[in-house]
Structure 1
């Protein structure tokens, strides 16, 4: 459980720092460029976010295929849920490839989606955007619990450690938590409303790092010690 930052993490953190520096620069000096080029729909930032999320799904699928035969049911269940969760996240990020493949939205989405797109996070229910209620407020609470509370409980409570390991939940290292808190501070400093596109990219990068090198990485090792759980 050493907290040493790996070479990959150093590169990823430097990449995020570069993104934030550019974001702050354009956000304060050229808000039009920030909105219409740097964070534009179907732009580099958005596609990179989708790549990060789908990479987590592929990594989880690889582990499921590689270790599924020697792991127990709860481990398989947890890993399978992560495969589906991050496929969903990546799909939502690019509206399930709607604009890539030039697919027109159905009448249902045209009438009930704030942007007329085929996705759930921009749906409007009862006059309120799902994105604001679930994908912002609720997700913020989940992130605080996952990135701050869970690492503490994992280190202090044996029952929680056992539960996380059984369900194959990757636990963030403090370097990941600190990176996310710093990312939040950087993003909040950007004046543009489209700054959240940068935040989503930070989410994708940091979560991919968590899944690659979690505090409890031993649960993803190929050991005859599959009896670990």
Structure 2
């Protein structure tokens, strides 16, 4: 089993601490303090998530540059697309800097965004919030499949292994899957306002860890650390 790097020790420490804080607030009944303090809008959890999503994007961009230099154009393009997805996630997390810059919400979004802010994931379409229809439970299932099914199949299924390597998909290690399942269990058990903000933070920390040192390091032209 690959040992924890110094970066992973910090990242997993932050994940564990965030989940333990959430459990402690819930057990002690400090719902209001949690919602208006630890997990408050524009607070440490939300900005931490945005920062980690941005770091994930930068790591993917760095990997893309390496792939282009190695002559792996397809892998490089795929990594650029992945990086742009995380840039989009960063922008959405902080409403594209609306409150930081003091921007006004356009009339179009004021009428269609249930939080009246500059984001796409909070738009209401056909009476349903886009977050719940597109970015909701289905996305959670897809993420868990990525964390659990891909590591299980990589190296055992020739098709999955070839596709993951050709498309430069960073494959999680088992510890990432275990953390993802653990965080999901905590969210199902705990019932406290804004708990899902912590869930997002945990997964943003997970992606940084995965992208820095995926299970398929060799596909990125790097040696596997022991």
TM-score, normalised via structure 2 length: 0.93
Asked if residue 59 in structure 1 is aligned to residue 59 in structure 2, the reply is yes
Asked if residue 144 in structure 1 is aligned to residue 174 in structure 2, the reply is no
Q: What does residue range 58-207 of structure 1 map to in structure 2 within 5 Å?
A: 58-207=58-207
- CA–CA separation in structure 2 for the residues paired with 1:66 and 1:214: 15
Does the aligned pair in 1 maintain the 2:65–2:76 contact within 8 Å?
no
Asked if residue 25 in structure 1 is aligned to residue 24 in structure 2, the reply is yes
| Deviation by residue 1:128-186 (Cα, 9 ceiling, x = unmatched) | 00101111122022112211111122121112111111111000100110011111122
Does the aligned pair in 2 maintain the 1:3–1:174 contact within 8 Å?
no
Does the aligned pair in 2 maintain the 1:3–1:175 contact within 8 Å?
no
TM-score, normalised via structure 1 length: 0.92
- CA–CA separation in structure 2 for the residues paired with 1:144 and 1:21: 21
Q: CA deviation at 1:72?
A: 2.2
3-state secondary structure, aligned to 1:64: helix
Does the aligned pair in 2 maintain the 1:53–1:87 contact within 8 Å?
yes
The more displaced of 100-109 and 143-152 is 143-152
- CA–CA separation in structure 1 for the residues paired with 2:11 and 2:200: 15
Does the aligned pair in 2 maintain the 1:123–1:130 contact within 8 Å?
yes
1:227 alignment counterpart: none
Q: Give structure 2 stretches of 5+ with no counterpart.
A: none
Q: CA deviation at 1:88?
A: 0.5
Q: Give structure 1 stretches of 5+ with no counterpart.
A: 224-229
Q: CA deviation at 1:62?
A: 1.6
3-state secondary structure, aligned to 1:172: coil
